[in-house]
A and B are shown apart, each in its own frame.
Chain A
Amino acid sequence: MIKFEYVITDAVGIHARPAGALAKKVKEYQSKVVIGKGDKSAEAQKLMAVMALGVKCGETITVTVEGEDEADAAPAIQAFFKENL
């Protein structure tokens, strides 16, 4: 299991488009990816659940990657966040 934190810099937070792109990215890997904000969490694949977290600019999220290919998946997903959010 690999866990990292990320601070959202996108002005409007995690909205539909990046959430969709994230879901697509995550599907490339077998690992299960969970995004947590405070005491709420959501599977990254589930678009609606991710959007329901209502993550805004400046908020910190925790990203948990767990599975066989986590070593590959975690850096790729981290890079995705830096690029898009």
Chain B
Amino acid sequence: MDYRKCASEILTEIGGKENLVSAAHCATRLRLVIADNAKASKERLEEIDGVRGVFEAAGQLQIIIGTGTVNKVYDEFIDLAGVAAASKDDVKQAAAAKQPMWKRAIKTVGDVFVPILPAIVASGLLMGIVEALGKIESLHFEGTAWYQFLDMMSATAFAFLPVIVAISAAKVFGANIYLGAVLGLMMVHPSLLNGWNVGSEDAIMSMFGTTSIPTWNLFGNIKVGGYVLGSISRHGYQGHVIPIVIAVWVLAKIEKWLHKKVPEMLDLFVVPITSIFLTSLVTFMAIGPVFSLLENYVLDGAKFLITNPFGAIVIGALYPVTVVMGLHHMYNGIESGMLAQAGGFNTWMPVATAANFAQAGSSLAVGIKSKNAKTKSVAIPAALSASLGITEPAIFGINLRYMKPFVCAMIGAAVGGGFAAFAGLKATAYGVTGFPGFLIITNIPLYALLLLISGGVAFILTLILWTEEKKDEPKKEPVKKEETKKVEEVVKAETDADTVYAPCNGEVIPLDQVPDETFASGALGNGCGIVPAEGVVKAPFNGTVTMVFDTGHAIGLMSDDGIELLIHVGINTVELGGNHYEKLVADGDKVAVGTPLLKFDMEAIKAAGYDITTPVIVTNTDDFKAVGAPEVGKKAAGSALYKVTR
């Protein structure tokens, strides 16, 4: 395979390097964020030799190439496109900005719970082994010193789970990780009643000498109904993972806000104590009680569904659909919550296994039945990978493309899910399914039967129902293109003197991707480009209008704090001679963030053959130490664009 040819064809079909925002790759896929999805032809991309499939998900254009080759194509690709190699995280972030709120929330849950997998898997595997050995009576293992020691060891991660989650969440939300750890530790502090014992009167009695958990009433006895204002129940949050995630999020917000407001020399004395104090109060008074209750409801709901054969059938059937939508990351949150509960087991994992193994079954059937060498070469490895728990190649590369195998896999998953619930299968960790799942499951023979049922049903159904057409069926789009929802305008109450805010809703791109050499080279100063999504330019800071061009296609501004800025709407648009532009301010006018400055007719400008990419440039770049890199991706007018360093 010619990697360079493949890369150059991909680049052409996505609309050239001008249309590329960023690129990264994972084990099998090239993950691209492109400015205008309409310019990319999915059909033609799929024709390229070396490309096994194309789909849009999570704001990215994902091109399946395959293990071992994707990195080589990627190297050629970034060389050709002249973009810097982006880490997967960069691309994910750029893509995340394109997503609606609820999707970002689910992604965040994944971001928090996926990195802690090593701790969970290690503890879970150990726990599974210790328990299995303990059950074999002839070994007399239970109760031995080794047993007790290993039991303690394997339980540690779960006993202090809020601490591990806190550290991960602090990294995700940008809080100081040590402060995050303090918050997590506080929630399992030994002077609080162990959260697992909240329901046990004996435990409460031995700790406090009464039968109900006492409270700290911090604000005296002011009552609202039966609720004492500001009262804190003296129990910990072992067994809960969601309250700590919310608490760390609050911590990050407070901490970041304080960092901005507090002078640097006082920062260390003021910021940590203030953020910990405020967050702890809010956590124990409100976040803890409210979210642990909510978490219980969600877990109880999930458990009810999953342990009841009918519910498990439904979840099993829908599971692959949620994988396609990228929602499956939130299941890690549910699974870790189940494990964190007293004596908790993961009853979700067997159903997930049924769903994943069914994908393997369907894909294998396609691989066996297909006459097409290319299809075979994708389907069989994809089936293998799915049987080990990685289903994306099978789902996107094969099953969804032909649709029928996907439906068969859904049926296999439903049958398997029902069986898992009926048999009461449960696991001691999360994060692995399929064959590796044997290591964390409590009943090995029944688990083997589960794999056989879910995979077998999908395999046989696909073998019977799916027939290969001579020409590929019209490929179904796995994910509907996300509507470019108008991002809500952010009303800025306060502004930062060193920040330039977005002058309009649109897609922010790095300056060097502005399709005009003069701007892209930085000759006029540093900054970024924005591809407007609306025809109005608003003030990017508080300041004065230096000059509005007669033609209304560009405007110069000076901020109250000395940033000179040029906003140039469109490329070469001076040639329009003022048509399609309307000036809303005059030279010398005072403006505040959000004051409308110019109006322009996007469609008419595009129709006249001009690119509407709008460079936003600090023309006195030399007066600053640096002009920061922009946050790329979809931005609402008035959200921070970049910062200058003085």
Q: Which residues of A contact B (CB under 8 A)?
A: 12, 15-17, 19-21, 23-24, 46-48, 51-52, 54
CA separation between A12 and B554, bound complex, in Å?
13
Given the contacts A15-B574, A47-B619, A48-B564, A20 and B547 also touching, CB distance less than 8 Å: no
Given the contacts A15-B549, A54-B547, A54-B550, A47 and B574 also touching, CB distance less than 8 Å: no
Residues of A within 8 A of B417 (CB): none
Residues of A within 8 A of B577 (CB): 12
**Cβ of B568 < 8 Å from any Cβ of A?**
yes
Residue in contact with A16 in the complex, picked from B558, B574, B575, B620, CB distance below 8 Å: B574
Interface centre among B523, B551, B577 (most CB of A within 10 A): B523
CA separation between A46 and B554, bound complex, in Å?
16
CA separation between A54 and B574, bound complex, in Å?
13
Residues of B within 8 A of A47 (CB): 524-525, 564, 566, 619
Residues of A within 8 A of B575 (CB): 12
Which secondary structure dominates chain A's binding surface? helix
Contact in complex: B518, A17 (CB < 8 Å): yes
CA separation between A39 and B253, bound complex, in Å?
53
Pick 12 A–B contacts, CB within 8 A, sort by A.
A12-B574, A12-B575, A16-B554, A17-B518, A47-B564, A47-B566, A48-B546, A48-B566, A51-B547, A51-B549, A52-B546, A52-B556
Residues of B within 8 A of A52 (CB): 546-547, 556, 587
CA separation between A24 and B516, bound complex, in Å?
16
Contact in complex: B619, A48 (CB < 8 Å): yes
Residues of A within 8 A of B566 (CB): 16, 47-48, 51
CA separation between A80 and B370, bound complex, in Å?
67
Q: Residue of B at shortest CB range from A18?
A: B518
Known: A51-B556, A54-B550. 17 other contacts (CB 8 A): A12-B551, A12-B575, A15-B554, A16-B518, A17-B516, A17-B518, A20-B518, A21-B523, A24-B523, A47-B619, A48-B564, A48-B566, A51-B554, A51-B566, A52-B546, A52-B547, A52-B556
Q: How far is the CB of B253 from chain A (nearest CB, A)?
A: 37
Contact in complex: B518, A48 (CB < 8 Å): no
Residue in contact with A20 in the complex, picked from B523, B551, B574, CB distance below 8 Å: B523
Residues of B within 8 A of A46 (CB): 619-620
Kindly supply a per-residue 1/0 record for chain B positions 580-611, scoring 1 wherever the CB is within 8 Å of any chain A CB and 0 otherwise: 00000001000000000000000000000000
CA separation between A12 and B552, bound complex, in Å?
13
Q: List B residues 617-638 near A (Cβ within 8 Å).
A: 619-620
CA separation between A21 and B524, bound complex, in Å?
8
Residues of A within 8 A of B550 (CB): 54
Q: Which 6 pairs from chain A and chain B are nearest by CB?
A: A20-B524, A52-B547, A47-B619, A15-B574, A48-B556, A12-B574
Residues of A within 8 A of B524 (CB): 16, 19-20, 23, 47
CA separation between A15 and B549, bound complex, in Å?
9
Q: How far is the CB of B254 from chain A (nearest CB, A)?
A: 39
Residues of B within 8 A of A48 (CB): 546-547, 556, 558, 564, 566, 619-620
CA separation between A16 and B524, bound complex, in Å?
8
Residues of A within 8 A of B551 (CB): 12
